[in-house]
């Protein structure tokens, strides 16, 4: 076992200052000068202290805010939102990087397989296979680099990922041969994804207090949805202006290559912004209003044997990999749906507006879904089951009819399900990690995002070539049967989660306790199970 180095911490907040507390108790709770009366004072303080009062290590006491029946959801939502104002500026930089990076990522993903087919003459099977290889490499490299993220820290990992993603997109934009575009897809692309996305999620944990962490993760997902919507807008505007391409300096650029150019430009911002984040850890043992944090130094090596021997690690693996089925439905939205929609409804069919509706609905619904989960006191397994079921059945809408109406209904329903399960799954997998060893856990949580690309790539190539081939007559297409087959794969997550729920979420697991809506500020039971990670097993 390699020796671990203790992190070098620099305390920023004062050691003891109760003036920052929202509610300061009476003088009897101060420090007593008579040593002999200390125990008697402590007993009196414990007896007189209201139930649920939070006591920080500074001696500050904060009483829980009792909510009355007159409190509306808007007031509760505003209260939770105001807590994010106490987060360091680094959190907002991370949000901006998340928006920019995911805008570039989905801008490329939505046109990727179509780009390979139209620009380089690849068949549907070849384009799908390259898409699958990219996803597999992202998964393998991501898991292997999870330990390195802990070692390097948030800042260096984020910079590394942003630079690699920028190089990969420039190579894809400039590629003129199959070899060049394949090289970008199997080298810098997977390496950038392995470092960047996990480091962004880890940064949200490091830059938040346990009192504002639940909504921080929700808005982290809102940033993802906003990015998906922006990528759809970029594609729509480019297609509206340059559907037939652009002749510039003697070269003809197709609308897909122009989209890749703007994706590369956006990636430049990610590199610049990543240089301004810091390796800090917000202290949850101090009041939120103090905005106290520690500077994090280099960490020692992670012994994988200590991690794989923990039951919580295998539970995280089980839950996240079960969700590969639902993730496949979202992967089909960029690997299968654009080609299908263009081949079914015409060359100028606005597929980007249809897929852009999904993140818009998710972005609006996510904060309210979070409040609903709190109000209904839903357990973790209930939340994931409901979300997985709604997202899973959405695909079958496309198997009923092939119209614009069914496509809109499909993305609307899948977005509602995503708003329920996805932020909760991100938070669960991130917060289950031991303090200082989050990288491997976060990498595991992101693995299904890319691992689902492997079966989707091969399945997408086969179903498109079989049921919706290129340049085929309308009577030769069988799009409804194609989406019925895809729907069976997406619903598998709900079925597997239902069968394994007792093993993955045992009844005696305290993470399964219902949420106490009257004491949302208590570290013992914060909203959406947002807790300080513990070293012991579940």
Concatenated DSSP letters for 489-516? HHHHHHHHHHHHHHHHS-TT-GGGSPP-
Domain that holds residue 433: 88-283+298-517
**pLDDT of 509:** 56
Cα of 65 vs its chain's centroid, Å: 30
List, for residues 39-51, the tens digit of each pLDDT value.
444 445 444 444 4
Q: Using H for helix, E for strand and C for coil, what is the string for 5-24?
A: CCCCCCECCCCCCHHHCCCC
pTM for this entry: 0.65
Domain assignment present for 29: no
Q: Tell me whether residue 81 is in a domain.
A: no
Give the whole-number percent of the chain exceeding pLDDT 70. 73
User: Does residue 304 or residue 526 have the better pLDDT?
Assistant: 304
Angle between helices 124-152 and 154-174 (to 10 degrees): 160
Q: Can you give the CATH number for the domain in which 491 is found? A: 1.20.1250.20
- Residue 291 domain-assigned (yes or no): no
Position 362 scores a pLDDT of 83
Q: What is the pLDDT of residue 395?
A: 92
- Lowest average pLDDT, out of 100-104, 230-234, 251-255, 426-430, goes to 426-430
Are 346 and 397 contacting, i.e. CB atoms less than 8 angstroms apart?
Answer: no
Tell me whether residue 137 is in a domain: yes
For 398, which DSSP code?
G
41 in a domain, yes or no? no
Give domain status of residue 533, yes or no: no
Residue of 342, 417, 162 lying closest to 268 (CA atoms): 162
Domain count, the chain: 1
* Residue 132 token pair: 């699958």
Alpha-carbon distance values, 12 to 67, 209, 290, 470 (Å) = 33, 15, 10, 62
Looking at the domain assignment, is residue 71 inside a domain?
A: no
Residue 38: inside a domain:
no
């Amino acid at each position: 076992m390699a020796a671990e180095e203790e992190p070098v911490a620099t305390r920023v907040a004062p050691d003891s200052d109760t003036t920052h507390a929202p509610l300061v108790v009476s003088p009897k709770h101060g420090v007593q000068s008579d040593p002999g009366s200390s125990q008697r004072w402590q007993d009196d303080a414990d007896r007189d202290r209201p139930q649920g009062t939070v006591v920080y290590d500074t001696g500050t006491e904060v009483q829980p805010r009792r909510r009355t029946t007159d409190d509306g959801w808007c007031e509760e939502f505003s209260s939770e939102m105001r807590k994010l104002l106490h987060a360091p500026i680094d959190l907002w930089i991370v949000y901006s990087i998340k928006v920019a990076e995911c805008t570039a990522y989905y801008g490329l993903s939505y046109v990727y397989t179509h780009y390979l087919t139209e620009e380089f003459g690849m068949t549907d099977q070849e384009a799908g296979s390259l898409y699958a290889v990219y996803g597999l490499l992202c998964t393998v490299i991501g898991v292997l680099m999870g330990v390195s993220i802990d070692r390097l820290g948030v800042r260096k990992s984020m910079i590394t990922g942003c630079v690699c993603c920028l190089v990969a997109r420039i190579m894809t934009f400039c590629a003129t041969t199959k070899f060049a575009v394949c090289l970008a897809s199997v080298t810098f692309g997977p390496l950038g994804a392995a470092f960047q996305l996990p480091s962004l999620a880890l940064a949200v944990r490091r830059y938040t207090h346990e009192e504002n962490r639940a909504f921080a993760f929700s808005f982290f997902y809102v940033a993802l949805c906003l990015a998906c919507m922006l990528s759809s807008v970029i594609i729509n505007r480019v297609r509206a202006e340059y559907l037939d391409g652009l002749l510039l300096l003697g070269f003809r650029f197709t609308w897909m290559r122009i989209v890749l150019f703007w994706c590369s430009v956006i990636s430049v911002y990610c590199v610049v912004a990543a240089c301004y984040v810091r390796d800090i850890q917000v202290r949850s043992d101090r009041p939120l209003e103090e905005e106290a944090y520690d500077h994090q130094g280099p960490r020692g090596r992670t012994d994988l044997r200590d991690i794989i021997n923990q039951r919580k690690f295998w539970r995280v693996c089980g839950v996240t990999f079960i969700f590969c089925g639902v993730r496949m439905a979202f992967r089909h939205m960029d690997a299968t749906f654009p080609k299908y929609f263009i081949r079914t409804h015409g060359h100028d069919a606005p597929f980007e507006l249809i897929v852009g509706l999904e993140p818009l609905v998710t972005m609006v619904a996510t904060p309210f879904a979070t409040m609903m989960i709190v109000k209904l006191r839903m357990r973790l397994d209930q939340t994931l089951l409901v979300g997985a079921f709604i997202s899973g059945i959405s695909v079958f809408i496309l198997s009923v009819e092939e119209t614009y109406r069914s496509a809109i209904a499909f993305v609307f329903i899948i977005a509602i399900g995503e708003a329920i399960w996805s932020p909760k799954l991100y938070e669960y997998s991130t917060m289950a990690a031991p303090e200082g060893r989050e990288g491997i856990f976060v990498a595991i949580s992101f693995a299904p995002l890319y691992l689902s690309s492997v079966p989707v790539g091969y399945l997408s190539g086969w179903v498109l070539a079989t049921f919706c081939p290129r340049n085929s007559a309308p009577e030769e297409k069988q799009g409804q049967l194609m989406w019925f087959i895809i729907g069976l794969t997406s619903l598998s997550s709900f079925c597997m989660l239902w069968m394994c729920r007792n093993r993955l979420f045992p009844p005696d697991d305290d993470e399964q306790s219902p949420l106490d809506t009257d004491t949302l500020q208590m570290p013992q039971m914060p909203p959406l199970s947002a807790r300080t990670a513990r070293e012991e097993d579940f």
